[in-house]
């Protein structure tokens, strides 16, 4: 889907136990209406999660369903589409072969998306659907996206994203523990729940969860079969007492009894039960007052997202809302590792000032400004592991973390920019750096060069260098430093630090740093 214009579009979602297709009409930017939503059960995840490969028969089933969907697309004269797969293919060792077989048989190219992309699509749809209802953007909300093979968690604090987490555990995987004693289900789920509890302990300022937003197609079908009332269109709202009653009613039933009582497809009765038990577990952990069940499918969420974003854009730009979420997530990640917030935010301010003053001369893309901003916030978090070589520890912690709105490759760039904020600049012997394509090595080097200077300006972590004015001359980059009143004696220390760490800046931009006191 490369063009953002009015017309019909299709999104195919290859999930763990079903293949869905949503056809929508783009009315205008940010607005579409669903024309048709199709759902066919195919247990791809059962192969992937038990054997590690997708069997030939399952691939044939997948191809047959996609051929059926192609006929529907032709009847609507749809040419623009997006086909995605999640954990159903992410964990399969023969994923490339499967996608090639599908393409050869149907002409459909499948894109495997990352877990963080999944929760990003869901968040945008949930935000548009829920808006300010139920305190979604005012209080603390936990978004719980439960899939067949993976689970994503997002915590919003007063409308700002604090953190996201992805886990390689979902309803199909948990279903294997169904016939075992209850403690085995608790054990299987513990990597998610324990990590969530520990994460919440890192943020004592977050006082509880007001509501849970549970995203799961199976539970939507269950609630529809039960006859639950929707408080607003496409949203079920269930309070604590009603949800506990619902769980008590269902959790002791067998899969066969659930299938019969609620007229569910036999392929989803078990995963429905697992999704209910997972939601109940988080409900108990958070003591939330309400659970919201928005009727949002992945295919519909992607379609809605693409009506607001041009998929063909070559250069990444960040609107203010997305930027706010990225910065909020970065700050919460810093707090998790007990960073020096005043120092990091001040380094960020100085780094952005330097970037803005030289970007026109050196042609620095605006999209790179965000990488510098996040790198500045997180450059010292490695001190949580050990102050010695903390730049290397920062790299490891950042690449092991998730920030909403940033992909894995972008997090890798940020981890390397942070890593080079001190000690030696990038070298041919640095494997992670050399593994990057050349244009990304350039990004890392030039942003690390700016970060090193900004960090040197606050090298004693006391913010005595309050602000800077930059004059870019032919033979030097002159930085005039506004010193805090009564703290001018620190200028020589700062000047020495900038001289020591300005090597990469001169090497990359071709001009040395000259420091003066701003009168």
Q: What is the pLDDT of residue 310?
A: 55
Cα–Cα distance between 371 and 35 in angstroms, integer? 39
What pLDDT digit, counting tens, does each position of 402-439 carry?
999 899 999 999 999 999 999 999 999 999 999 999 99
Exposure class string for 130-149: b at 16+ Cβ within 10 A, else e? beeebbbeebbbbbbbbbbb
For 459, the token pair is 């090298």
What pLDDT digit, counting tens, does each position of 183-225 carry?
667 777 888 888 888 888 888 778 889 999 999 999 998 998 8
281, 261, 282: which is closest to 182 by C-alpha? 281
Q: Residues of the chain with pLDDT > 90: what percent?
A: 61
Average pLDDT over residues 311-331: 72
pLDDT at 512 over 70: yes
Q: What is the pLDDT of residue 151?
A: 93
pLDDT at 317 over 70: no
What pLDDT digit, counting tens, does each position of 82-141 carry?
999 999 899 899 999 999 999 999 999 999 999 889 999 999 999 888 887 888 888 899
Average pLDDT, the chain: 89
What pLDDT digit, counting tens, does each position of 231-249 carry?
777 899 998 889 989 888 8
Q: What is the pLDDT of residue 230?
A: 80
- Helix or strand or coil: residue 168? coil
In the chain the first and final C-alpha atoms are separated, in Å, by 55
Give pTM, 2 decimals: 0.86
Please tell me which residue, 202 or 73, carries the higher pLDDT value.
73
Q: Residues of the chain with pLDDT > 70: what percent?
A: 95
Domains parsed from the chain with CATH numbers:
7-113 (3.30.420.40), 116-296 (3.30.420.150), 320-517 (1.10.3210.10)
Exposure class string for 196-230: b at 16+ Cβ within 10 A, else e? beebbeeeeebeebbbbbbbbbbbbbbbeeeebee
């Amino acid at each position: 889907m490369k063009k953002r214009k009015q017309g019909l579009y299709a999104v195919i979602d290859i999930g763990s136990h079903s293949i869905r297709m949503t056809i929508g009409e783009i009315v205008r930017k940010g607005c579409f209406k669903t024309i048709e939503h199709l759902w066919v059960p195919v247990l791809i995840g059962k192969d992937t999660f038990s054997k590690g490969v997708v069997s030939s028969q399952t691939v044939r089933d997948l191809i047959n369903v996609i051929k059926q969907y192609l006929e529907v697309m032709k009847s609507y004269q749809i040419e623009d589409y997006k086909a995605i797969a999640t954990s159903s293919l992410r964990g399969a060792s023969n994923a490339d072969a499967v996608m090639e077989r599908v393409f050869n048989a149907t002409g459909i190219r499948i894109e495997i998306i990352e877990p963080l992309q999944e929760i990003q699509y869901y968040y945008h749809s949930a935000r548009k659907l829920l808006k300010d209802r139920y305190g979604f953007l005012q209080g603390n909300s936990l978004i719980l996206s439960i899939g067949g093979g993976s689970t994503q968690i997002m915590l919003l604090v007063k409308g700002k994203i604090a953190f996201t987490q992805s886990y390689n555990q979902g309803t199909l995987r948990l279903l294997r523990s169904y016939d075992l004693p209850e403690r085995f289900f608790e054990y299987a789920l513990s990597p998610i729940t324990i990590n969530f509890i520990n994460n919440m302990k890192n943020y004592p300022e977050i006082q509880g969860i007001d509501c849970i937003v549970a995203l799961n197609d199976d539970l939507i079908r269950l609630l529809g079969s039960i006859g639950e009332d929707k408080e607003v269109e496409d949203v079920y709202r269930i309070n604590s007492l009603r949800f506990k009653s619902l769980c008590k009613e269902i959790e002791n039933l067998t899969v066969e009894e659930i299938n019969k009582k609620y007229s569910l497809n036999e392929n989803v009765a078990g995963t429905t039960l697992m999704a209910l038990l997972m939601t109940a577990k988080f409900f108990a952990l958070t003591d939330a007052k309400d659970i919201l069940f928005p009727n949002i499918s992945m295919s519909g969420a992607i379609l809605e997202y693409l009506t607001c974003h041009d998929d063909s854009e070559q250069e990444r730009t960040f609107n203010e809302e997305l930027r706010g979420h990225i910065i909020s997530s970065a700050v919460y990640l810093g707090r998790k590792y007990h960073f020096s917030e005043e120092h990091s935010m001040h380094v960020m301010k100085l780094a952005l000032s330097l970037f803005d003053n030289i970007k026109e001369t050196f042609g620095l893309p605006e999209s790179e400004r965000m990488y510098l901003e996040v790198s500045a916030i997180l450059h010292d978090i490695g001190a949580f592991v050990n102050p010695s070589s903390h730049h290397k520890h920062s790299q490891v912690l950042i690449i092991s973390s998730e920030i909403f709105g940033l992909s894995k490759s972008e997090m890798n760039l940020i981890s390397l920019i942070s890593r080079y904020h001190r000690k030696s600049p990038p070298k041919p012997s640095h494997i992670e750096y050399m593994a990057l394509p050349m244009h990304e090595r350039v990004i890392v080097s030039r942003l690390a060069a700016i970060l090193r200077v900004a960090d040197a300006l606050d090298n004693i972590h006391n913010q005595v260098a309050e602000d800077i004015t930059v004059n870019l001359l032919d033979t030097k980059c002159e930085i005039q430093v506004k010193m805090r009143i009564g703290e001018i004696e620190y200028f020589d220390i700062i000047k020495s630090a900038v001289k020591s760490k300005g090597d990469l800046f001169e090497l990359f931009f071709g001009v040395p740093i000259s420091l003066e006191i701003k009168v």
